[in-house]
Amino acid sequence: MSIVKIKDLTFKTFIPEAEIQQRVKAVAEKINRDLDGKNPLLLAVLNGSFIFAADLIRHITIPCEISFVKLASYQGTTSTGEIKEVIGLNEDLAGRTVVIVEDIIDTGLTMKRMIESLGTRNPASIHICSLLVKPDKLQVPLNIEYVAMEIPNDFIVGYGLDYDQQGRQLRDIYTVIDP
């Protein structure tokens, strides 16, 4: 087990690189089986999913395309007080099979918002692919078809995920140790 310190928090190895790679390959193989002939458009949500998306697409053997979007948060007047807007999307989604590629689904509110936003652009279908899911924290029903790993509620970093913008380059996934 290795320990890393990022700013005020200490983390320990949680999912080693080799296991991540195995799980990512298995997700890609399921996409290969399910979406053959559909030329899916992977929409990877920056920043957290950049490493996952890069590894995932290299195991996808069917014709596919990839593009990257960001979510801009701003304060609004909804009940949650926060509205997230999808930015940077230049592709025409009409009639496309879209696979949203996320790093982690926690409450699921971000993903719900993405689906609502992309749904207005008339895609043929929208599928969810997430590296990690915290099932105990989910607040909204989501059909998560492609998930590499389910994890407990602890805060994690590495493999693209950050703590205050640090730690994204860690090859393994780390979980926080109680101070």
Q: Which residues are catalytic?
A: 106
**CB distance 112 to 140 below 8 Å:** yes
Q: How far apart are CA 119 and CA 53, in angstroms?
A: 22
Nearer to ligand 5GP, 103 or 172 (CB): 103
**Pairing between strand 97-105 and 41-46?**
parallel
Q: How far is the CB of 48 from ligand 5GP (least distance, A)?
A: 5
Q: How far apart are CA 157 and CA 134, in angstroms?
A: 14
Residue 160 touching ligand 5GP (CB under 6 A): no
| Interaction pattern, residues 2-41, with ligand 5GP; x per rule: CB under 6 A | ----------------------------------------
Of residues 127 through 156, those in contact with ligand 5GP by CB under 6 A are: 155-156
Residue 109 touching ligand 5GP (CB under 6 A): yes
Residues 6+ apart with CB under 8 A from 4: 10, 11, 167, 170, 174
- Total residues contacting ligand 5GP by CB under 6 A comes to 15
